[in-house]
A and B are shown apart, each in its own frame.
Chain A
Amino acid sequence: MNGPVISVRGLRKVYKVHERETGLGATMRSLVRRRFKEVVAVDGIDLAIDSGEVVGFLGPNGAGKTTTLKMLSGLLYPTAGEAKVLGHIPWQREDTYLRRMALLMGNRTQLVWDIPAADSFLVLKEIFRIDDPTYRRRLDELVELLELQPLIHKPVRQLSLGERMKVEFAAGLLHGPDVVFLDEPTLGLDVSMQSRIRTFVKELNRRSGATILLTSHYMDDIVALTKRVVVIHHGRILYDGALADLAERMAPYKLVVATLRDGAADTDLSVYGDVVSRDGGRVRLQVPRALAAERTARIIGDLGTALADLTLEDPAIEEVIDRVFSGESVGEKVAVA
C-alpha cells in the first residue's frame, strides 16, 4: 500500500458529561434541568504511521490515548476530523476492516470464561472466516510464541491474570491483523510476564510486519518496543518523533554526575548548576543543555584531582515525560520526525 497505513487529520473527540453537584437540592434540580459539561478528550490531532512501524503513544491518564485508539479501531465516532486506517474509515466498521485490525486492551476479556480458550478460538476462527490451514498455522505460531500449550485447554476462569492476558493476546491476533492497537498490554502483570509480552510484541512485528500503535504507562515497554513515540497531553500531540531525540527536544537541560574523592566530598558544586541530588561524594547537577560542555570543562578545571569521575547524561526518559506532563517543559509541539 502506498502512503501511510494510519493517517489522521484534525481528529477530535468531545464527550458530553452530565454534571451535578452533591446534595439533595442538586439532585432535585438535576431532575428538572440537567447540566452538561463538554470534555475535550482528543483535540485535533494529526498522525501518519507507515506500514510495519511500531509507535509508542505516551501520555498521562486522561491525555486522550485510549480515546484515540478507540476511534481508530472504530469503537467511537469522532466529533470532528478524519482518519483512515488500511484505507478504511474506522468508525464505519466495515467487516473488511475489522478482519484486518485488532484492538487489544489490558485486563479486558473477549473470551468466554466458562470454557477453555481453545473452544473460544474456534468461534473466532469462524467469525473471522479463517480457513483451516491458516488457522492451524497461526495457532501453532501463537502457542509457541506465547507458550500457551498448557493453558488453552483449561477454562479461562481458572487462569491467572498473566496467563489470561497471553491467551487474550492469542485470541485477538488469530485473524492475523495488519494493524494492531495495544492499549496498556502489560497492565497489572509482574515483571517477568511484562518482559515476555514485550518479546512477543517484538516478534509479532518482526514476523508478520504488523503495524503497531502501543500505549503504556511503563517506559520499559516503550523503550523496548518502539523507536518512534507520540506524546499526547490534554488531547494534543506535544511530540512526534524518535524516542532517542525526545530528551534532546523536550528537556532543555542535561545532567552532570560528578563523583568526588573522599577528602573533597563536601565541595559545593551549586555554582556550576542546580544540585538535583547528593549521595555522599556523588553529586547530580542539572545544567542548561547549551552550557553543558562549558560547565563540564569548568568543573574539571576547577576541581582537578578532587574529581574521581564525571559523566554527562541526558535525563532519564521518565523524568523528561514527567516534566512535560507536569507542565515544566516546552509547551509547543515539536517537529514531526
Chain B
Amino acid sequence: MTLVPIYRALLLAGFQQAAQYRVQSLLWMLFAIIRPVIFLAAWVAVATAQGGSIAGYSVGDFAAYYVCLTFVSQLAMAWNSHEFEWEVNQGRLSPKLLRPLHPLHYSVVDNIIFKLNTLPVLGLILVAISLSFGARYATQPWHVVAFVPSIILAAALLFMFNWVIASLAFWATRMRTANTLFQRASFVFAGQIAPISLMPVWLQAMSFGLPFWYMQGAPTEILKGSVTVEQALLIMAGQSLWLVVTYVAFRWIWRRGLRAYQAVGA
C-alpha cells in the first residue's frame, strides 16, 4: 500500500512542530556550516601565502569546493544515530514499534523537514560566501543534472549508514564513541579536511574504497564541475553499491537488534 498519505500526515504534523523550533533549526544549521567555513578560511590563507594556489587549487577553487561541500553536507545530513540511543534507552522507541510503520520513516520525515526549513537561509549564506571569496565554478549544465541523483544517493547512503550505527544501540547503552569514530572517519575520508585530490595517493585510494567520500566529497566534486561524465557515472555506481551494502547491513542488524531489544523504560 502507498505511503503517500502517511508521509503527507507526518510532514504536516512535523512542520507544525518545527514551526515552534525555527530558531533552533537555524542554529543547528549554522553550527553545521562553521567547520567547512573554517577549513575554507584556512586553505585560502595558505594558498594566498603560497602565491595564490596549492597543487593547482586557487583561492576561487577552494571557495567553490567548500561552498559545494557545505551545500552537500546540509542536503545529505543525517543525525538519527544520535537520537536513536536516547529513544532506545528512554523507551521512546516502543510506541513506534507498536505501529504498522517502520520507525525509519519518522526519521525520513524529520530529515526532510529540517532541510526544507533551513535551505533558504543556507542558500543566502552560501551565495554570500561565494561572492566574498570569489568562488570559481567549472559547473556545466550536465553537472547539475548529474548532481541530482548523486546527492539523493549520498543522502540515502548517509541516512542508512546512520541507521546502521543507530541500530547498535540495541546492544550498547552509549553510542557516542561509535558516532565520534564515524565523524572522524568522515573528517578525513569524506573530503572535509581538504579536497581528496590534495591528499596523498594512498589516502585517496582508501577514500575511493570506503563509503565516506561517496556521502559528501563525491557529489561535491560533481556540483563543482571537476569530474568528467565517466567519473560522474563511476561515482554514482560507487554510491549505489555502498547504498545496497549499507541497506542489507541495516536490515540484518535491525532484525537481530529487535531480538535483543529489552524495551526498558517503556
Closest to B97 in A: A75
B248 at the A interface (CB under 8 A): no
- Whether the Cβ atoms of B13 and A119 lie closer than 8 Å is yes
Q: Give the chain B neighbours of A73 by CB distance below 8 A.
A: 98
- From 70 to 102 in chain B, residues with beta carbon under 8 angstroms from any chain A beta carbon are 91, 94-95, 97-101
Q: Give the chain B neighbours of A247 by CB distance below 8 A.
A: none
Given A99-B100, A108-B91, A126-B8, is A75 in contact with B266 using a C-beta cutoff of 8 Å?
Answer: yes
Given A15-B262, A126-B5, A126-B9, is A74 in contact with B99 using a C-beta cutoff of 8 Å?
Answer: no
Q: Give the chain B neighbours of A75 by CB distance below 8 A.
A: 94, 97-98, 261, 263, 266
Among the interface residues B10, B20, B94, which one has the most CB atoms of the partner chain A within 10 A? Answer: B94
- Whether the Cβ atoms of A125 and B9 lie closer than 8 Å is yes
Q: Give the chain B neighbours of A102 by CB distance below 8 A.
A: 98
Complex-state Cα separation, A151 to B224, whole angstroms: 53
> Which of B17, B94, B95, B100 is in CB contact (< 8 Å) with A114?
B17
Q: Give the chain A neighbours of B259 by CB distance below 8 A.
A: 77
A279 at the B interface (CB under 8 A): no
Q: How far is the CB of B251 from chain A (nearest CB, A)?
A: 14
A35 at the B interface (CB under 8 A): no
Q: How far is the CB of B119 from chain A (nearest CB, A)?
A: 22
- From 99 to 146 in chain A, residues with beta carbon under 8 angstroms from any chain B beta carbon are 99, 101-103, 105, 108-110, 112, 114-115, 119-120, 122-129
Complex-state Cα separation, A103 to B98, whole angstroms: 8
- From 43 to 80 in chain A, residues with beta carbon under 8 angstroms from any chain B beta carbon are 70, 73-77
Closest to B259 in A: A77
Given A122-B13, A126-B9, is A114 in contact with B99 using a C-beta cutoff of 8 Å?
Answer: no
B46 at the A interface (CB under 8 A): no
A332 at the B interface (CB under 8 A): no
Chain A interface extent, by class = 20 to 34
A93 at the B interface (CB under 8 A): yes
Given A75-B263, A76-B262, A105-B266, is A93 in contact with B97 using a C-beta cutoff of 8 Å?
Answer: yes
Q: Give the chain A neighbours of B13 by CB distance below 8 A.
A: 112, 115, 119-120, 122-123
Tell me whether chain A's interface is mostly helix, strand or loop, or mixed: mixed
Given A77-B259, A119-B16, A123-B9, is A108 in contact with B100 using a C-beta cutoff of 8 Å?
Answer: no
Chain B interface extent, by class = 20 to 34
> Which of A70, A108, A128 is in CB contact (< 8 Å) with B95?
A108
Complex-state Cα separation, A73 to B91, whole angstroms: 15
- Whether the Cβ atoms of A119 and B262 lie closer than 8 Å is no
Complex-state Cα separation, A119 to B263, whole angstroms: 27
Closest to A128 in B: B100
Complex-state Cα separation, A105 to B265, whole angstroms: 11
- Whether the Cβ atoms of A98 and B100 lie closer than 8 Å is yes
Q: How far is the CB of A98 from chain B (nearest CB, A)?
A: 4
Q: Give the chain A neighbours of B21 by CB distance below 8 A.
A: 114
Complex-state Cα separation, A117 to B258, whole angstroms: 29
- Residue-wise, chain B 1-30 has the 8 Å CB interface mask toward A (1 for contact) of 100011011101100110011000000000
- Whether the Cβ atoms of A76 and B263 lie closer than 8 Å is yes
- Whether the Cβ atoms of B98 and A98 lie closer than 8 Å is yes
> Which of B1, B8, B12, B98 is in CB contact (< 8 Å) with A74?
B98
A38 at the B interface (CB under 8 A): no
> Which of B12, B101, B261, B263 is in CB contact (< 8 Å) with A127?
B101
- From 81 to 127 in chain B, residues with beta carbon under 8 angstroms from any chain A beta carbon are 91, 94-95, 97-101
Q: Give the chain A neighbours of B263 by CB distance below 8 A.
A: 70, 75-76
Q: Give the chain B neighbours of A190 by CB distance below 8 A.
A: none
Complex-state Cα separation, A124 to B175, whole angstroms: 30
Complex-state Cα separation, A110 to B94, whole angstroms: 9
- Residue-wise, chain A 71-95 has the 8 Å CB interface mask toward B (1 for contact) of 0011111000000000000000101
Complex-state Cα separation, A79 to B233, whole angstroms: 49
- Whether the Cβ atoms of A74 and B17 lie closer than 8 Å is no
> Which of A110, A114, A129 is in CB contact (< 8 Å) with B1?
A129
Q: Give the chain B neighbours of A76 by CB distance below 8 A.
A: 261-263
- Whether the Cβ atoms of B258 and A77 lie closer than 8 Å is yes
Complex-state Cα separation, A151 to B6, whole angstroms: 24
Q: Give the chain A neighbours of B262 by CB distance below 8 A.
A: 15, 76
- From 263 to 298 in chain A, residues with beta carbon under 8 angstroms from any chain B beta carbon are none
Q: Give the chain A neighbours of B6 by CB distance below 8 A.
A: 123, 126-127
Among the interface residues A15, A73, A101, A127, which one has the most CB atoms of the partner chain B within 10 A? Answer: A127
Complex-state Cα separation, A127 to B261, whole angstroms: 23
- Whether the Cβ atoms of B12 and A108 lie closer than 8 Å is no
Given A15-B262, A76-B262, A120-B13, is A110 in contact with B100 using a C-beta cutoff of 8 Å?
Answer: no
> Besides A119-B12, A119-B13, A129-B1, 12 other CB < 8 A contacts?
A75-B98, A77-B261, A93-B258, A102-B98, A108-B266, A114-B21, A115-B17, A122-B13, A125-B9, A126-B5, A126-B8, A126-B9
A selection of 6 A-B contacts at a CB cut-off of 8 Å is A70-B266, A112-B13, A119-B16, A123-B13, A124-B99, A128-B100
